[in-house]
Chains A and B, each alone.
Chain A
Amino acid sequence: MPDAETEVSSASSAPKFEPDEGWVPADERRFGLDRRTLRPTLTVFALVIMMSVVLPVINATVPYHDIVRAGDVMELEGNVTFVPEAGWGITSGVRAGKAPLSGQYPATATVEHGAMKFTVRTGSFHGDADKLLDQIETTSDALNRGRGVHVTGAPITIVTGQGKQGATVRVTGPHTAGVIAAFVFGNRGVEAVATGPSDAGAESSTAVVRMIGSIGNSGEGKQ
């Protein structure tokens, strides 16, 4: 055991000098920077470019190949279904009878054709179709704050092929026009949004009207 009494102050009373953190040894300087920090930073930048630029660009260049065939039916959460137009592309959502392994259908489905886009979304809702349309307008206005698409005109009643009554309203935005439709099946709300260029032809409009009219709930009788 060392003699503690005699060696108690053997340590130096002043801390050993260490250069401050910003100091760079002369032989490690490149372009005024610490050479040792270049490689890790450039590695991270390469990863950022890969994740935030390269992957989204690759994704943007790859088209969707999942084309709707005649007779296809899309199904959403809560047994909500609609019949997409043949020839349109499915960009989200799944066909009826093709549920994911969890058995849970997604809450959203989107089909696209050129610049036309038709999205159906479902969720729990207590109230009627008019109230749901009001809620959709309120939320949409709050999110857009006067920018983007906004409601034009008064809501009108719409009836689906199943005889379900809903509410619909026109929306317009810069170079965009469309329609929002709302239905309530029991405690399940359904929102359908179709948007496209302001000068979209009558054919697209007819297709959208057909898709809105096809919205139904295969389980409504069970509720």
Chain B
Amino acid sequence: MTTPTLAHLDRARDVALDLSGWGRRFVFYQPRNLAFWGYLALVGIGVLTFFSTLAREYNAYGEAIGLAVTSFAIYAALFWWFTDRIDHYAKLPHKLMVVAFLWGGFAATGTMAANANDAVLALYAKTFGQVWALNWGAGLAAPFNEEVAKGSGLLLLIALAQRHIRTAFDGFILGAFIGLGFQIVEDITYAMTSAGTQFGANQIGASVGTIILRMVSGVAAHILYSAIFCAGVVYLVGRPAEPRKIGRGLLLIAIPVLLHGTWDSLAAIAGPSALALIGLLIATIVIALIIVAWVYRLTVTRERDFVRDVMAPEQARNVITPIELDAMAGKRKARKAYRKAGRTRAERRRARYILEAAYSLADELAAARGADTDRVRFARSEVARIRAGLPSPW
């Protein structure tokens, strides 16, 4: 086996950067892109719908709305931080994440799913009777309407960011942000509805239970469903860095629909037993978390390969060591093992800083499309400085 030359490695890096879209700047304003106008119109309708409802109900349920908005804003910030954190290989632009969040929060809810859910639920009641609709209506309406409404946003996002959304993992991350937006707006709406369940009296008491329940159950709800669904959409349509795999795509689209349907039918499946309901609730959450972890592992491999391709020339140039390259392109366990390998606390801390500086170098290389710019040279010098244990002059 021949050792690849630096020229080979540099070429492989260029190919990886080209394929992955990593480091490219995302421009939202694209007047010659129909998806841009479509997105603006549909999100705009959703924003108007949501805020007009909020403004109307604020007069009556102001206390509950205040509590719900504050609680779910903190909740959203935590999930945002977490989802952003797991995207630490070939990162997507933050602007794109905001665009995804807004689609989920406004277009997928108010413009699409809410109308369809109301209609389908009423049709079920008319066709199969009220009792049947109460038992199974939600479980057979929401999964289809809501997952399609959220997932269709990814089609627009791909048209808006053709050079950025290249892998199933990109779909997974953006799907999570679409789901987060959907979840937060839906949670606020649920809290508003709860506020009225005691005729507008005792609003906080009436809505706090719903807020807590939505927060707990939200761990394995829309964020997770949409992440899996959107990874499936990417496999289904295929992208430059992700060859089309129709079977896998359909499977990943079907799984969240099934999970969502099961979740919405839990009360009917469990029957009147509260214990059975709690047991099923926990089981569904655990199964959903296992599945999402599997999809993460399935999709993230390509992203890790991109990191390896982008950083291999740096290892060849002795900017980083082979162990550091393995840690960077490896799983969380590999990074942890690298960090823990130090004998003293100072060494372990330095290892962590070196890894962070190396990731920053990877981001700079991606932004420079592999070129040797001042920013890249500076990022390299930072890795060397931290390795030498020198203090920052800045």
- Set of chain B residues within 8 Å of A189, measured between Cβ atoms: 198-199
Nearest CB in chain B: distance from A218 CB, A? 17
Nearest CB in chain B: distance from A176 CB, A? 19
Segment of A43-51, A112-120, A159-167, A202-210 engaged in the interface with chain B? A43-51
Indicate if A158 sits at the interface (CB-CB under 8 A). Answer: no
Nearest A residue (CB) for B113? A51
- Could you say which interface size class chain A belongs to? 35 or more
On whether the beta carbons of B27 and A20 are closer than 8 Å, the reply is yes
A36–B123 Cα distance when bound, in Å, is: 37
A47–B196 Cα distance when bound, in Å, is: 32
Using a Cβ–Cβ cut-off of 8 Å, how many residues does chain B contribute to the interface with A? Answer: 82
What sequence of 0s and 1s flags, for each residue 110-136 of chain B, a beta carbon within 8 Å of any chain A beta carbon?
A: 011101101110110111011100110
Indicate if B210 sits at the interface (CB-CB under 8 A). Answer: no
Segment of B180-188, B332-340, B347-355, B363-371 engaged in the interface with chain A? B363-371
Which DSSP category, helix, strand, loop or mixed, fits chain B's interface? helix
What sequence of 0s and 1s flags, for each residue 43-64 of chain A, a beta carbon within 8 Å of any chain B beta carbon?
A: 1110110111001101100111
Nearest A residue (CB) for B30? A22
Indicate if A179 sits at the interface (CB-CB under 8 A). Answer: no
Segment of A79-87, A95-103, A149-157 engaged in the interface with chain B? A95-103
On whether the beta carbons of A92 and B317 are closer than 8 Å, the reply is no
On whether the beta carbons of B158 and A40 are closer than 8 Å, the reply is yes
On whether the beta carbons of B115 and A51 are closer than 8 Å, the reply is yes
- Set of chain A residues within 8 Å of B7, measured between Cβ atoms: 7, 10
Q: Which of chain A's residues 172-215 have a Cβ closer than 8 Å to chain B?
A: 189, 191
Q: Which of chain A's residues 138-156 have a Cβ closer than 8 Å to chain B?
A: 138-139, 142-143, 145
Task: Say yes or no: A22-B32 contact (C-beta < 8 A), given A4-B317, A59-B119, A143-B60.
Answer: yes
A-B contact count (CB 8 A): 215
Option from B10, B56, B123, B199 in Cβ contact (under 8 Å) with A135: B199
State the A residues within 8 Å of B (CB): 1-2, 4, 7-16, 18, 20-22, 24, 29, 32-34, 36-38, 40-45, 47-48, 50-52, 55-56, 58-59, 62-66, 90-94, 98-104, 106-107, 123-127, 132, 135-136, 138-139, 142-143, 145, 189, 191
**Contacts A/B (CB < 8 Å), 14 sampled:** A1-B316, A15-B370, A33-B34, A34-B30, A41-B159, A56-B115, A59-B122, A64-B125, A102-B135, A102-B272, A124-B206, A135-B199, A189-B199, A191-B199
Nearest first, the 7 A-B pairs at minimum CB distance are A139-B200, A103-B272, A142-B60, A51-B116, A55-B119, A102-B267, A59-B119
State the B residues within 8 Å of A (CB): 3-7, 9-10, 14, 24-27, 29-38, 42, 56-57, 59-60, 111-113, 115-116, 118-120, 122-123, 125-127, 129-131, 134-135, 145, 148-149, 152-153, 155-156, 158-160, 162-163, 196-202, 206, 267-272, 277, 313, 316-318, 368-373
